[in-house]
Amino acid sequence: MNKTGWIIFIVVVVVLLGGLVAWARISNPSIDVSGIENNSVITASTQNGDIADHTKGSSDNKILLIEYGDFQCPSCAAANPNVLGLMEEYGDSVTLIFRNFPLTSIHPNAKTAAAVAESAGLQGKYWEMHNNLYDLQNEWSSLSATERTGQFQKYAEALGLDMDQFNSDLSSANVNQKISFDMAIGKEAGVSATPTFYLNGEKLDDTVSSGIVQGDLTDIKEMLDALIAAEN
């Protein structure tokens, strides 16, 4: 190839690479969460698709237990009843926040499941769908894209949701924005696996987190008891 040919080749490659970068930016818009306080209940805004954090328990938000979870993650499913049990015991003093962190590289149905929960939440049934997705994980985890849609619609119908609204919300920009926002917040906080827990802004170590997954709640209860005692 002569000099002119090389120049043309380089120009074409640069243009193509520029187009790929631009496409990636459009397909995966970055969300700036640098000014957002992770250890707080995040209210609805345009950044999160006008969908606020999902919370359980105390409304005073003095003690925050934040979980980043993936609905297709087996460990998250194992942890869920234990987290709910904690909230039954400590719900008067502790606020639970759940944020989406679908690991789509290993869990291809996780992001759609997150959208299902968020769409149910727009009709006031977030926690009901949240728990169903974990309780029934084995029913939908290995399904194809077509099969999972039908299964998720059955769950929505069982909860009495308006199906036209549910199906519309499932693919809406706001729901997609909420999931992307949660992931951006999680990445900013250092989340790389699920479930990951934070207690008043401090990431729980593997021993405490494993205990929550396995049902040994001794360590997390000691931590919660200490925080509650300090508040009183």
The CATH code that applies to domain 31-231 is 3.40.30.10
Question: What is the average per-residue pLDDT within 83-100?
Answer: 98
pLDDT tens readout for residues 30-68: 788 988 999 999 999 999 999 999 999 999 999 999 999
Choice between 24 and 70, residue whose per-residue pLDDT is larger: 70
The Cα 14–Cα 12 span in angstroms is 5
Question: What angle, rounded to 10 degrees, do the helices at 173-189 and 163-170 form?
Answer: 50
Could you give the percent of the chain with pLDDT greater than 90?
84
pTM for this predicted structure:
0.86
Calculate the CA 214 to chain-centre distance.
21
Residue 27 confidence (pLDDT) above 70: no
Maximum separation of any 2 CA atoms in the chain, in Å: 80
Enumerate the domain spans of the chain.
31-231
Looking at residue 32, what is its pLDDT? 87
Average pLDDT of the chain is: 91
